[in-house]
């Protein structure tokens, strides 16, 4: 029996700060920054939001769409690089909030920005192996960029959740393939508030090498060419990288353009590629094939091919469109952003 996605949900906090506002603080040119990054604004969590709250919200939407009984859920994985606790899983909070405890396996995952897709692979495996009926994989982050660092323009907050199973599928999994190496382009030591990165080194040997190879490996494995895909979502650390990757792969830009939530909510790290994928699912017609390629620094990419089912049109009525999350917003200035994100030294 086919495995696939039974429901999906995206959550993004409603605060936004514009690239222009951030640039103004550092004496940079916001207009050219925005153009270069292809990002206009990013989401900022309220002080009472974090990866756990975002994960719960996204998962509630996904569960609602799936219309699966909660007893069916046998796994909950939360992938993030901003778990609120170093020890005490985000996943158990989510499982308890969804009411899927106690007959469930749960764990937190970390692989920079691809921990969400790593969780999806794990749930696909458990479902395909008939170990569980269905499971939930979530990628969510409330990532921080060091003040003044280029990352600050894009580090957003948000996440996506997928209910994966065999029933009520809105998209069937055709296959998945991963490409992983040790490539230290971006890291954060235990206890450090902000990540460090290798600037230009995050490009060619890191993001592009892994994304391109994962996509090509998947196509080779499934006997597909890039022309077989109707839509795609790649990891989106900014709005420019995925477009460049598409160009390298020979994918027409209009097939990836719809995925670029990064332009409006920033890079949601573990959520980024899958928020984009969810937006493609919002727009896809039954029968369309979607390519999803994540990227996590360190580094690795997980590539997936999905075929959208007829059931999606009805299922969407039970979900919440990604665009609703993008369009509900409240602008904040840098001072408020600094307060919300704990950038003001209080003690």
Partner 1 sequence: MSIADYWRLEAPRFRLEATKCEKCEKLYFPPKVVCPQCGNKELKKVEISGKGKLISFSRIDKPADEHTYVAPYYVGIIELEEGIRLSGSLVDLGDKEPEEGMKVEIAFRKYYPVGDEGVIYYGYKFRPLLMSLED
Decide whether 22 or 98 has the Cβ nearer to partner 1.
Answer: 98
Q: Interface with partner 1 includes 148 (CB under 8 A)? A: no
Is the sign of the CA dihedral 150, 154, 157, 161 positive or negative?
negative
Region at 336 (left for phi over 0; alpha for psi -120 to 50; beta for the rest):
alpha
Active site residue 113: yes
Interface positions, 4-33, toward partner 1 (CB under 8 A): 14
What's the length of the chain? 347
How crowded is residue 189: how many other Cβ atoms within 10 Å of its Cβ?
Answer: 7
Tokens at 110, concatenated: 């970390």
User: What distance in Å separates the CA atoms of residue 12 and residue 158, rounded to the nearest whole number?
Assistant: 4
Decide whether 214 or 320 has the Cβ nearer to partner 1.
Answer: 320
Q: Interface with partner 1 includes 281 (CB under 8 A)? A: no
Q: Which stretch binds partner 1 (CB under 8 A): 33-41, 52-60, 125-133, 246-254?
A: 52-60
Size of the site for partner 1 (CB under 8 A): 28
Closest CA to 152 of 313, 320, 46, 26: 26
Q: Tell the residue number behind the tokens 């952003």, with chain if given.
A: 337
Rounded to a whole number of angstroms, the distance between the first and last alpha carbons of the chain is 57
Q: Interface with partner 1 includes 57 (CB under 8 A)? A: yes
Active site residue 210: no
Is the sign of the CA dihedral 261, 263, 265, 266 positive or negative?
positive
What letters, b where the CB count within 10 A reaches 16 and e where it falls short, cover 292-320?
Answer: bbbbbbbbbbbbbbbbbbebbeebbeebb
Q: Which of 83, 93, 113, 197 is catalytic?
A: 113
Q: Which of 49, 81, 152, 174 is catalytic?
A: 81
Q: Interface with partner 1 includes 50 (CB under 8 A)? A: yes
> Minimal distance in Å, beta carbon 248 to partner 1?
38
Interface positions, 63-102, toward partner 1 (CB under 8 A): 64, 84-85, 88, 93, 96-99
* Residue window 323-342: x/- pattern of binding to partner 1, with contact defined by CB under 8 A: -x---xxx------------
Q: Interface with partner 1 includes 49 (CB under 8 A)? A: yes
Decide whether 2 or 85 has the Cβ nearer to partner 1.
Answer: 85
Q: Is 47 exposed, middle or buried (0-12, 13-18, 19+ CB in 10 A)?
A: exposed
Q: Interface with partner 1 includes 200 (CB under 8 A)? A: no
Q: Interface with partner 1 includes 212 (CB under 8 A)? A: no
Decide whether 60 or 146 has the Cβ nearer to partner 1.
Answer: 60
For the annotated catalytic residues, the residue numbers are 81, 113, 235
Binding site for partner 1 (CB under 8 A): 14, 46-50, 52-53, 56-57, 60-61, 64, 84-85, 88, 93, 96-99, 317-318, 320, 324, 328-330
């Amino acid at each position: 029996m086919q495995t696939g996605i039974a429901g999906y949900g995206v959550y993004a906090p409603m605060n936004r700060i514009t690239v222009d506002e951030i640039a103004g603080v550092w004496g940079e040119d916001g207009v050219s920054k925005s153009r270069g990054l292809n990002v206009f604004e990013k989401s900022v969590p309220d002080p009472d939001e974090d990866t756990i709250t975002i994960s719960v919200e996204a998962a509630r939407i996904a569960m609602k769409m799936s219309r699966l009984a909660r007893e069916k859920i046998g796994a909950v994985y939360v992938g993030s690089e901003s778990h609120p606790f170093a020890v005490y899983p985000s996943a158990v909070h989510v499982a308890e909030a969804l009411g899927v405890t106690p007959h469930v396996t749960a764990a937190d995952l970390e692989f920079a920005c691809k921990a969400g897709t790593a969780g999806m692979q794990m749930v696909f495996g458990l479902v395909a192996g008939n170990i569980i009926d269905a499971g939930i994989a979530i990628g969510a982050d409330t990532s921080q960029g060091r003040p003044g660092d280029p990352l600050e323009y894009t580090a957003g907050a948000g996440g996506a959740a997928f209910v994966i199973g065999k029933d009520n599928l809105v998209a069937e999994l055709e296959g998945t393939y991963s490409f992983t190496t040790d490539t230290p382009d971006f890291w954060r030591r235990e206890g450090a508030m902000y990540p460090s990165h290798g600037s230009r080194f995050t490009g060619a040997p890191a993001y592009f090498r892994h994304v391109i190879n994962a996509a090509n490996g998947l196509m080779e494995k499934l006997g597909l060419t890039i022309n077989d895909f109707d839509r795609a979502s790649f990891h989106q650390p900014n709005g420019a990288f995925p477009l460049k990757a598409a160009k390298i792969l020979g994918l027409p830009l209009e097939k990836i353009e719809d995925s670029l939530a990064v332009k409006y909510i920033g890079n949601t790290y573990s959520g980024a590629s899958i928020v984009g994928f969810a937006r493609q699912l919002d727009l896809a017609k039954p029968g369309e094939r979607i390519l999803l390629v994540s990227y996590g620094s360190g580094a690795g990419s997980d590539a997936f091919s999905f075929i959208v089912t007829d059931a999606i049109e009805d299922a969407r009525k039970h979900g919440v469109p990604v665009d609703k999350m993008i369009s509900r917003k409240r602008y904040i200035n840098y001072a408020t952003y600094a307060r919300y994100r704990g950038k003001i030294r209080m003690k």
